[in-house]
Structure formats: C-alpha cells, structure tokens
Amino acid sequence: MVANLHILINGWFWGQTNTGSGQYLHRLVEQLAQAPVTTTFTLLIPESRDGGTGNGKSAPRSPLPYLRSPILPLPRQLAKLYWEQVTLPSAARRLGVDLLFVPYWAAPFWQPAPTVVTVHDLIPLLLPLYRGGLLNRLYTRLVSITAARAAAVITVSQAGAADVVTHLRIPPNRVTAIHHGPNGAVLANPNPATLAATRAQYDLPERYFLYLGGFDARKNVQGILAGYRRYVDRGGDPAVKLVLAGKLLGADTPFFPDPERMAAELGLTGQVCFVGWVDEADKPFLYAGATAYLFPSHYEGFGMMLLEAMAAGCPVITSR
C-alpha cells in the first residue's frame, strides 16, 4: 500500500440509512475507520444552511475525519447534481487527494484524481419502468459516461459486474465485484424470549412465510401472492400465513401495484398479514421466526435481504 495515501469519499448519502446507498456508505465508513494508519480518509458531507445534512436531520458522528461543504439552495436533484459534478471534484483538487471514491453510481465528469465508483446496479438503464422522464434518462446517460472514465468500478455481485461490462462497455480488468457482508446482527442462536416479544410487537402469526422489502414492481410481490395462493390451493397448511413487511405507500400504479388490492382479488385477505415498517434491530428476529423468506425479484444488484435471512438461519425461496 502507498504510504500516506489520502482518499476523499463522497458522503452525499451520509445520514440516509433508510436507503441502500446510505447503508452501504455507513457500513464502509465503519470498516474503513479500522484501516491501516498509512491511509488517510476524508468523508465529504453535505451541509444545508440550517446545519443539517440537507436531508432534514443532523448527520450522525463519523468515525472517519470529515469535512462539511454547503449544498446550493436548489431543487434537491439539481443540488445533488451540482454536488457530484462540481463540489466533490473541486474539493478533491483543493485537498490534493490521491484517490476519489464515489460509493454510488455518480462519478464526476471532471476527475482531478483517479476515481473509483461503486455501481450497485443498472436498474434505471435496464428496466424500462424505472427509467423515468427525460431528465432522469439524461442523468443515467451522464453517470454511464462518467463511470466509463473512472480508473476502476466496484460492483456488488458477479452479475452486476457482467452488466457493467456489457452495458457500460467498461473493460473487465477495470471492474471488480466486492460482495456485501450481512447488513445487521447475525443470529447464531436467537433468544426465544426476544423472538416471542418481536412476534407480539408486530402481531405475527405463529407460523409464516415472510417477505420484507419494497413494493415496487421489480420486487414481484404479485408473484409472491400468486405463489401463496397456489400453495393454499394445492393443500399447503393454511396455518402458515403470509407476512408482508415494509412500508406501504397507499399507491396503486404500474410502478407501485397495491399488494392489499392484489391479496383481496386472490381471496387472501384473511391469510396475508401486513405489518408495516420494521425497525432495523427487529429484522433478524422476523427472519429467524419465519418458515421461509420469499424473494422472487425480477432484478437485484445484490439482494441484501437474502443474506440477512440466511444469516438468521431462515430458508430462502428466491428467483434466478
């Protein structure tokens, strides 16, 4: 390792642990804080005019050295674009860093230092329903170009690496898959009392299949409901209920099909339990108490919930 290597990290998602990119950043920072002392890391955190992170709340304390930089009083997406394309590379040049690390798909076009970018998935490029309007498509085009200019690209799975090589046309020798670890506590032997308390807190049935995650179309919750309907019709034990955990948005669109409506149409209203948002600390116990975790997504960059479920000793039923 080069002595006294100085790496600047884009901290746009610092404090946003309700997002995948935010959780990835937080877990990395926790681990990088234990890196050899010959490496200096600086986390660049956005700061709004009220002293917060620009996300409506104060940033948690970083275990790495950090700097704050103001974000412009623009609409959020424009402020984010300015941060990525102007604020971040300007800070890299000002600090004279050896490496710029962007832990999500948004490398700057101007790269005053060798740049490493993590591309978690190519959802807005590959899935038509997720491409958005003209501005979103232009943004996807921009970050596709800037990723190709980076010195190296990190992905989180071999499938993601293959997508990057194929669709962003980046040479394989510049793309590396670095898998996630479990995003939360690993339960080797879950405490029965805590399992019972969690079951009571979320009003869980004694036995259940579990889905925990988002309700957008690629998650294929419709397939989960249809599969559970077939399970019941073909003689499956009706005492094993279906638990759908996660925040419902109250929408019913092609992008967010309403799972409550779909359950009613399949005659499953009494068999499906909607438990709402689950606190991060409670997730391992929901997994540990389930008969199986269901995750038949149409597309995932990694699928963190699969790893969480397996870490808690829960059997997994998933798609290819």
Rounded Cα distance between 180 and 150, Å, is: 21
Q: Indicate the CATH number for domain 192-318.
A: 3.40.50.2000
DSSP assignment of 90-111, as one string? HHHHHHT-SEEEESSS---SS-
Domains 5-177 and 192-318 share a fold: yes
CB distance 241 to 203 below 8 Å: no
Helix, strand and coil percent figures for the chain, each rounded to 5: 35, 20, 45
Digitized pLDDT (tens) for each residue of the chain, 320 residues in all: 456 899 999 999 999 988 889 989 999 999 999 888 889 999 999 986 444 454 445 667 889 999 999 999 999 999 999 999 999 999 999 999 999 999 999 999 999 999 999 999 999 999 999 999 999 999 999 999 999 999 999 999 999 999 999 999 999 999 999 999 876 666 667 788 988 999 999 999 999 999 999 999 999 999 999 999 999 999 999 999 999 999 998 889 999 999 999 999 999 999 999 999 999 889 999 999 999 999 999 999 998 899 999 999 999 999 98
Q: Which fold has domain 5-177?
A: Rossmann fold (3.40.50)
What's the pLDDT score for residue 319?
A: 92
What's the pLDDT score for residue 61?
A: 85
What's the pLDDT score for residue 60?
A: 77
What's the pLDDT score for residue 49?
A: 42
- Domain residues of the chain, as ranges? 5-177, 192-318
What's the pLDDT score for residue 184?
A: 63
